[in-house]
């Protein structure tokens, strides 16, 4: 879907809670898992654009980092106090956020989740990448690069987060099924923090000097793994399959430190999330799951028009 530059400019509103809701104006805030990564910023562009098209009000909040579950719960309470019509939520913990979701239901506030859901049937829809399938795609690609043998580590983001669980499970299950001669090490969690991911990767390599590859499950983990491999002069010797895209990750790919990464359409996740909640508020039926497809970017395909369109949806 293409959007004009004027519309894009209109979508670039500041992070924050916004102003008091007009009496007849629909208000759908977004409670994210964070805002520091480019992924979340692109999700915000999508949700802002959808709100602009629909003529409704939105805002975008998230904790300072992706480990602050209590802060996210507080943000949910803050948003509910503003009497929104609905909330778009990416849960940091699939169990801890159930109670705020139940509270929202009791106040007739509709919920749709995105990126990471909750263990509840209250949300009307879940808008996200199929993380199990994406993890399987990563395993298939990396297993082929390794020739079906070797030792592979996983640096995941936040333990307890649905996306981290599913991206890791999809990877390990597919690797076991398709490449039984590849040994997958125990998952290491980095909280999505690049420095922690770097430290975990260095420790992993020191404990396993025959390490053949590392799979990282989000932007922060991918950046940290790549920094570790580069700092140890292991580029091309220990392969890296990442998840999410930034300018820095693209540079690592071109330099040969990263061999591939999964790209979600973050803009569409935010865009479809707001559109879906609006449909719910209009009394329309919506799918329980809205799958946003992914692609695998490699050095061989990154300059193709198709991959450039995914990486740079606004032509930047």
How many distinct structural domains can be found in the chain?
2
Is residue 307 within 8 A of residue 295, CB to CB? The reply is: yes
- Classify residue 11: in a domain, yes or no: yes
CATH number at residue 216: 3.40.50.2300
CB-CB neighbours of 190 under 10 Å:
27
pTM for the model stands at 0.77
pLDDT digits (tens, 9 = 90+) for 126-170: 999 899 999 999 999 999 999 999 999 999 999 988 899 999 999
Q: What is the pLDDT of residue 17?
A: 35
- 313 — pLDDT class (breaks 50, 70, 90): low
Burial 140-169, CB ≥16 within 10 A → b, else e: bbbbebbeeebbbbbbbbbebbbbbbbbbe
- Distance of alpha carbon 221 from alpha carbon 226, whole angstroms: 9
Check the CA dihedral 49-55-61-66 and report its sign.
Answer: negative
pLDDT digits (tens, 9 = 90+) for 50-104: 999 999 999 999 998 888 999 999 999 999 999 999 999 999 999 999 999 999 9
Q: Which domain holds residue 150?
A: 131-244
Residues 270, 220, single domain; the answer is: no
Residues 117, 143, single domain; the answer is: no
Residues 163, 121, single domain; the answer is: no
Residues 139, 103, single domain; the answer is: no
118 DSSP assignment: -
Domain's final residue, options 244, 273, 307: 244
- Classify residue 256: in a domain, yes or no: no
- Classify residue 299: in a domain, yes or no: no
pLDDT tops 70 at residue 272: yes
> Region 247-276: what's the mean pLDDT?
96
- Distance of alpha carbon 155 from alpha carbon 185, whole angstroms: 10
Mean confidence (pLDDT) of the chain = 91
Q: What is the pLDDT of residue 311?
A: 85
- Classify residue 108: in a domain, yes or no: yes
Q: What is the pLDDT of residue 162?
A: 87
pLDDT digits (tens, 9 = 90+) for 17-30: 333 444 478 999 99
pLDDT tops 60 at residue 6: no
- Classify residue 306: in a domain, yes or no: no
- Classify residue 227: in a domain, yes or no: yes
């Amino acid at each position: 879907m293409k959007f004009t530059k004027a519309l894009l400019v209109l979508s670039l509103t500041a992070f924050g809670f916004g102003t008091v809701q007009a009496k007849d104006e629909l208000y759908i805030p977004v409670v994210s898992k964070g805002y520091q990564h480019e992924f979340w910023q692109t999700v915000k562009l999508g949700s802002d654009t959808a709100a602009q098209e629909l003529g409704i009000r939105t805002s975008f909040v998230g904790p300072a980092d992706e480990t602050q579950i209590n802060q996210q719960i507080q943000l949910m309470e803050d948003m509910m106090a503003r009497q929104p019509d609905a909330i778009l939520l990416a849960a940091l913990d699939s169990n801890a956020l159930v109670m705020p979701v139940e509270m929202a239901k009791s106040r007739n506030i509709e919920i749709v989740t995105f990126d990471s859901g909750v263990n509840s049937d209250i949300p009307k829809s879940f808008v996200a990448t199929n993380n199990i399938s994406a993890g399987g795609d990563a395993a298939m690609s990396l297993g082929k690069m390794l020739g079906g043998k070797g030792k592979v580590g996983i640096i995941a983001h936040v333990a307890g987060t649905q996306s981290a669980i599913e991206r890791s499970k999809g990877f390990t299950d597919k690797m076991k099924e398709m490449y039984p001669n590849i040994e997958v090490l125990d998952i290491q969690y980095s909280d999505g923090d690049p420095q922690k991911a770097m430290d975990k990767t260095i420790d992993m390599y020191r404990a396993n000097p025959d390490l053949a590859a590392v799979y990282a499950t989000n932007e922060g983990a991918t950046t940290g793994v790549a920094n570790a491999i580069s700092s140890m002069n292991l580029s091309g010797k220990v392969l890296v399959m990442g998840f999410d895209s930034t300018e820095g990750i693209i540079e690592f790919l071109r330099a040969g430190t990263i061999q591939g990464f999964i790209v979600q359409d973050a803009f569409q996740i935010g865009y479809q999330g707001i559109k879906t909640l609006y449909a719910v508020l209009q009394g329309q039926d919506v799918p329980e799951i809205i799958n946003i497809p992914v692609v695998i970017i490699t050095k061989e395909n990154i300059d193709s028009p198709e991959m450039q369109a995914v990486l740079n949806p606004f032509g930047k």
